[in-house]
């Protein structure tokens, strides 16, 4: 079926469309219908069906005779180690861990926090919870103790599964002291903890509370899969909230499995047995959907990578992994490619490896500027597909459905809405705007399967955050426009649309122009307060390695470039060269924090910041531009 017909069918007959897709999943009891809309605007999918996630991810492939296929490849350039686990091995290991948890009283509906690095055992912990119907909440390994404590108090876990440490290039991150500190701060205390000891650091266990991963499982009966209802929460994933209190996004079991299975073939063009590599972390939504659950549900081989795009050991790491493990589809963040491009602008490392297995590259997480996409296309000689989604949605809102029909690629656009997503661009009054007009991007309810039905124990906050701004719609918090062909263009978070002398301008549009300068590796534009014009744009530029020209000259060229491409209306006059940009660990640039620094406002240090020292560098750069009020003290 042509993609346009497929999308139309999903909106006109959601029940028929999604019941058809649900046939790809194994059910203990099939659902009576797909959409449950009795409590609109709160919607559910496949609520009365019964199924188990772990069965669909592991057991059914073993039962179908594919147990010897490799399920998980672990590749750690930091420990110089690689290992492979088959579907049979994964099933047996997961059943053993689940049996040990069950013997300690963990069952359906109990919460389990997982605090682990990029090792296969992290996937085993997630799947062991799913096997029992327990609700896991993965917290990014190495998160500060107070942030972990907030999540412990909100989820109230029966147990915590953690690792002794995580590894970064040149350093060991001590997880156990952070975990002990978090439990001490938290009001809620878990009944017990399971610690996976790594040889790089063996942690001290608290007697009576902490159990060693291996001895915990010794002599226990493996657990069978526990069927759960379609609307049973598979997991809670916390995303940062504007109030500083994280929001617990709920993922309902059945809709998630159905949507992920559909996406593996239709978006990522993978057949059972193909190798999929998502260079992310299990602590983020991308890691949940496309390192753990999606590939295994579809019978693929998934790569769990413990390393960095550059520095482990060089800018050729991505290409080595793709070459060695015969990766067919590769998914990463634009910021990772920008880091590689900055180190290796001519692509010398690319040519060292045989990349003939690679058919498609996918980018998500930040806006993929056209310059980065063009660079990747030229180096890799395969389609480079931008797609757009959120922690809340669990899978792509807009993408190019490569496995169904490869649509023309338009640079700067993540292409078109996926099935079930009725994407619209609205003005401030909630009215649809004409093609090409900048506005707030919203999705007409109901959202498709796999997306969040609610927040954990916070329905009022769910309604306020997502449903009340535009009644009948889910507010994405993103701003952009759609063209006449229905292609979506994400230009900024709605907070990043700046108002310059009455003109609403997108910082993303300016960043796109700056990124096209041959010496600019990465950039960010923020709006800073101006008495005369309301806001003025300010650009931060990171230069390519080997850019030897005078930075003042490059700044002048960049200012002229924006004035030429966007016009004097942008009032773009200020830019500064910096060594690096403040980012979250998943690669998102912290533009809001940079605005607070520029305006001299108090702010809460983002929990996910990669390196807080960068904020001082940003403040110093702003002072050189004549902003004495800039300060980085959170």
Q: For strand 534-543 and strand 488-493, is the pairing parallel, antiparallel, or unpaired?
A: unpaired
For the cut 70, the answer to whether the pLDDT of residue 242 exceeds it is no
Q: What is the pLDDT of residues 40-94, one digit of tens each?
A: 999 999 999 999 999 999 999 999 999 999 999 999 999 999 999 999 999 999 9
Cα gap 101→124, rounded to integer Å: 12
Confidence of residue 241 (pLDDT cuts 50, 70, 90): low
Q: Report, as an integer, the average pLDDT of 325-343.
A: 94
454-458, 502-506, 519-523, 558-562: range with highest mean pLDDT: 454-458
What does the pLDDT read at residue 548? 78
Cα gap 361→390, rounded to integer Å: 19
What is residue 27's three-state secondary structure?
A: coil
Q: Report, as an integer, the average pLDDT of 439-446.
A: 96
Q: Do domains 87-226 and 495-624 have the same CATH topology?
A: no
What does the pLDDT read at residue 507? 84
For the cut 60, the answer to whether the pLDDT of residue 531 exceeds it is yes
Q: Report, as an integer, the average pLDDT of 206-226.
A: 97
- Out of 10-14, 239-243, 355-359, least confident range: 239-243
- Out of 347-361, 394-408, 411-425, 509-523, least confident range: 509-523
Q: What is the pLDDT of residues 608-622, one digit of tens each?
A: 788 888 999 999 998
Average pLDDT over all residues of the chain: 93
15 membership: H or E segment, kind and range:
helix 14-21
Delimit the domains of the chain by residue range: 87-226, 495-624
Contacts of 5 (CB under 8 A, 6+ apart): none
Confidence of residue 366 (pLDDT cuts 50, 70, 90): confident
Higher pLDDT, 234 or 605: 234
What is residue 118's three-state secondary structure?
A: coil
Q: Which two tokens stand for residue 178?
A: 């952070």
Cα gap 63→80, rounded to integer Å: 34
Q: Report, as an integer, the average pLDDT of 276-281.
A: 96
CATH superfamily of 495-624: ANL, C-terminal domain (3.30.300.30)
Q: What is the pLDDT of residues 484-526, one digit of tens each?
A: 999 999 987 776 777 776 666 778 888 988 999 999 999 999 9
Of 258, 210, 284, 231, residue with least CA distance to 45: 231
What does the pLDDT read at residue 289? 98
Q: Which two tokens stand for residue 386?
A: 């931008």
Q: Which two tokens stand for residue 583?
A: 């980012």
What does the pLDDT read at residue 504? 66
Q: What is the pLDDT of residues 282-318, one digit of tens each?
A: 999 999 999 999 999 999 999 999 999 999 999 999 9
What does the pLDDT read at residue 500? 75
Q: How is domain 87-226 classified at the architecture level of CATH? A: 3-Layer(aba) Sandwich (3.40)
Of 418, 389, 386, residue with least CA distance to 401: 418
What is residue 128's three-state secondary structure?
A: helix
What does the pLDDT read at residue 634? 54
């Amino acid at each position: 079926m042509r993609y346009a017909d497929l999308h139309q069918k999903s909106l006109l007959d959601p029940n028929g469309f999604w019941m058809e897709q649900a046939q790809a999943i194994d059910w203990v009891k099939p659902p009576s219908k797909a959409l449950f809309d009795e409590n609109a605007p709160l919607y559910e999918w496949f609520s009365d069906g019964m199924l188990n996630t772990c069965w669909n991810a592991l057991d059914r492939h073993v039962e179908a005779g594919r147990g010897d296929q490799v399920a998980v490849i672990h590749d750690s350039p930091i420990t110089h180690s690689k290992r492979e686990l088959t579907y049979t091995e994964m099933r047996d290991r997961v059943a053993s861990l689940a049996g040990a948890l069950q013997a300690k009283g963990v069952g359906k509906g109990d919460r389990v926090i997982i605090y682990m690095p990029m090792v296969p055992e992290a996937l085993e912990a997630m799947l062991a919870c799913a096997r029992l119907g327990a609700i896991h909440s993965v917290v990014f390994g190495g998160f500060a103790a107070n942030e972990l404590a907030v999540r412990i108090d909100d989820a109230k876990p029966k147990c915590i599964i953690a690792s002794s440490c995580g590894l970064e290039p040149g350093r060991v991150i001590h997880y156990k002291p952070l975990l002990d500190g978090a439990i001490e701060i938290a009001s809620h205390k878990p009944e017990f903890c399971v610690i996976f000891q790594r040889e790089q650091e063996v942690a001290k266990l608290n007697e009576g509370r902490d159990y060693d991963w291996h001895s915990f499982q010794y002599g226990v009966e493996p657990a069978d899969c526990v069927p759960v209802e379609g609307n049973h929460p598979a997991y809670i994933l916390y995303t940062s909230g504007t109030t500083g209190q994280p929001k617990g996004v709920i993922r309902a079991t059945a809709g998630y499995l159905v949507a992920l299975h559909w996406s593996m073939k239709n978006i990522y063009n993978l057949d059972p047995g193909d190798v999929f590599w998502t260079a992310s972390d299990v602590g983020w939504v991308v890691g949940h959907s496309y390192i753990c659950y999606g590939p295994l549900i579809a019978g693929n081989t998934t790569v769990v990578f413990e390393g960095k795009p550059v520095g482990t050991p060089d800018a050729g790491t991505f290409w080595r992994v793709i070459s060695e493990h015969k990766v067919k589809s590769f998914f990463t963040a634009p910021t990772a490619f920008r880091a590689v491009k900055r180190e290796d602008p001519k692509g010398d490392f690319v040519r060292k490896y045989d990349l003939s297995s690679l058919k498609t590259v996918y980018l998500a997480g930040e806006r993929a500027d056209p310059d980065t996409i063009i660079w990747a296309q030229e180096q890799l000689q395969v389609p480079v597909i931008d797609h757009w989604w959120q922690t809340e949605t669990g899978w792509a809102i807009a993408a190019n459905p490569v496995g169904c029909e490869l649509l023309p690629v338009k640079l700067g656009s993540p292409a078109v809405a996926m099935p079930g997503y009725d994407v619209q661009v609205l003005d401030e009054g909630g009215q649809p705007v004409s093609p090409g007009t900048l506005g707030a991007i919203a999705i007409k309810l109901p959202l498709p399967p796999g997306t969040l039905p609610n927040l954990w124990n916070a329905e009022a906050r769910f309604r306020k955050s997502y449903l009340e701004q535009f009644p009948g719609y889910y507010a994405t918090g993103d701003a952009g426009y759609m063209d006449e062909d229905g292609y979506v263009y994400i230009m900024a978070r709605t907070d990043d649309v700046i108002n310059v002398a009455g003109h609403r301008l997108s910082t993303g549009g300016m960043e796109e122009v700056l990124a096209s300068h041959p010496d600019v590796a990465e950039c960010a534009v923020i709006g800073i307060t101006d008495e005369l014009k309301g806001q003025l744009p300010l650009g931060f530029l990171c230069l390519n390695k080997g850019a030897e020209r005078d930075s003042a000259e490059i700044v002048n060229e960049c200012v002229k470039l924006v004035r030429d491409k966007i016009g004097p209306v942008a009032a773009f006059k200020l830019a500064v060269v910096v060594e690096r940009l403040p980012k979250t660990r998943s690669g998102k640039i912290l533009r809001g924090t940079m605005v607070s620094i520029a305006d001299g406002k108090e702010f809460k240090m983002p929990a996910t910041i990669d390196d807080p020292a960068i904020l001082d560098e940003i403040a110093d750069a702003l002072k050189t531009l004549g902003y004495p009020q800039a300060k980085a003290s959170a």
